[in-house]
Structure 1
Amino acid sequence: MKILLGTGVALITPFKLDLSIDIDALKRVVNFCIEGNVDYLVVLGTTGESATLTSSEKQLVIDVVVEENAGRLPLVVGIGGNNTQLLTEELLKTNLKDFAAVLSVSPYYNKPTQEGIYRHFKTLAQASEKPLILYNVPGRTGSNIEPDTVLRLANDCSNIVGIKEASGDMAQIRSLINKLPSDFLVISGDDFTAYPTVIAGGVGVISVLGQGLPNELSRMIRLGLQGKEEEAFALHNAMIEGMKLIFQEGNPAGIKSILEARGICRPTVRLPLVEASSELKGRINEFMRAFTKIGA
């Protein structure tokens, strides 16, 4: 799975004012990321507001991204939830031919035990024709995938190949890197921990900010993977204010405001999310102006 080293981007789903999917804007986002030298694209993740999309809208997003990407970058698709049986059926019926892997979030709301999490992902692994990447985000799911559970899944399921780790806990991330087989992908799922994860031995990030600042974010990760820690840290430090701002009023309201500032899409989100406040947009615009000067 070396094609998933480096910087992946969790794509937004742009909307028009009437809340329909903005296909032209989605194409612009895809091309902006590709031209910004990111390494792969993630479709229908949390950032893509997949929870608010119908089945037909999800298929539309997939079709647009696959067509616009035209084989230029590897693609990962998000298929996750808290109903194991339904997810198994979805994996069996979904055409995954255009995807390198499936990203699947740990079951949310149910708050399963570690044994429940293990059995959930083992069942999905048996159903998936493509490699599976676990997604651990305790702040959203209400439960944590512990390192020993990840190790158990890595040893027992040959097509579980990595984890997107968004606990924000560097001690846990280091534990994963130290315990897991060397070819198991430990991917930062949090922009804040992307730099330290790579320096600790992780393989990269699935980023939100990376679609607003693709050149800079992907360069930071590349430098980190090359062991050029000082140069990578300088970029991390320059972007850290942007990382804070885009999550201040929820994701993807913040990153959509950055993309609005770049003229790529509208900042529209679907309820229960709301558009970023005028105050936050002002701060984002200030950051972008200052960051452009830093980049120059």
Structure 2
Amino acid sequence: MSRCSATLSTMTPYSVFLSALYVFSFWFRGLQGHPMETLFVLEGDDLSMVIHGPTPVDQFLWRATIQLKKYTILTYQPGTEPKKYYGKRAEFSKTTFSLQIKNLRLNESGLYEAVVISATQDIVAEYHVTVQERVSPVVLNVSSVSLSPESCKVTVTCSTQSSSLNSTFTCTPRTCSEDGEDPAEVVTSDGSLQIYLSNGLNAVCNHSNKVSWSKATMEIKPLCFEDDDIPYINPQQGNLLIIIPFFLVILILVGILGAIYKQRKKNKREINSPGSDDLSPNGDQSPTVYSMLGPSSIPLEPIPRQTASPEGIYAQVDKHGRA
């Protein structure tokens, strides 16, 4: 589970009472059917408010209730110039009866109302305005990294000017996940501080309120695994990865040498077999000169027949001896 730690600024009983009073006021006016809106404004921005319903024909005013004190911002009687009590920062439209307050200050949070002054004061617009300052920047750091054969745990710390938050993530070679079902979060007086995981890869620290936010992102997976394709390998797995390929290479070499030996033995047997000189490698009879030359294309002349045998040398010697 994620462990959270935060330095929360304490709220005074007076501020708690004001908050409860505002909530009760909204609930009561909601029962009466008055229009009501909630606005959050960044400190230094302008506040714009309009009335609901038709344009008033009687005397009209904008007022504010701030810290239980009521202030009249301006009054207006149709056909005359409006009387401003809020300084030059208040701008009023005689056409739409809208009001704009420029450069709103942090201490100007409160209840703003548009009222038609007649026999009964009718509220034609009501705004609960909360002015907030911009949230402070966040700093995201790694607190610890714990490696194991199966996974890796990374603890990060997100800090602001007034609070801090810790969260732990578990990473594998494929992805990272949060420890716990929900993101780590703490709510402070100036906003919400949250750490969560994005895309199974990035730790995100977000500091925000209704009008601003500050964010820091850190890629945590490389803190555990430098290469996504190379997971954690213990020594025994490393020995197996070396031995198995070695035996595979030996088996392949033995198979190749055995095939060469068998082929040579077969060739030697064929050479020593009878009639192997007259046979071609394919088992056919070796070609002769006559088979290679083929039948002669030159016509043969018939040999003349002799009527008498020529005298041989022995016959001539025999005749000579007789003589």
TM-score, shorter chain, exceeding 0.5: no
Considering fraction of residues, name the structure with more strand: 2
TM-score of the two chains, using structure 1 as the length reference:
0.20
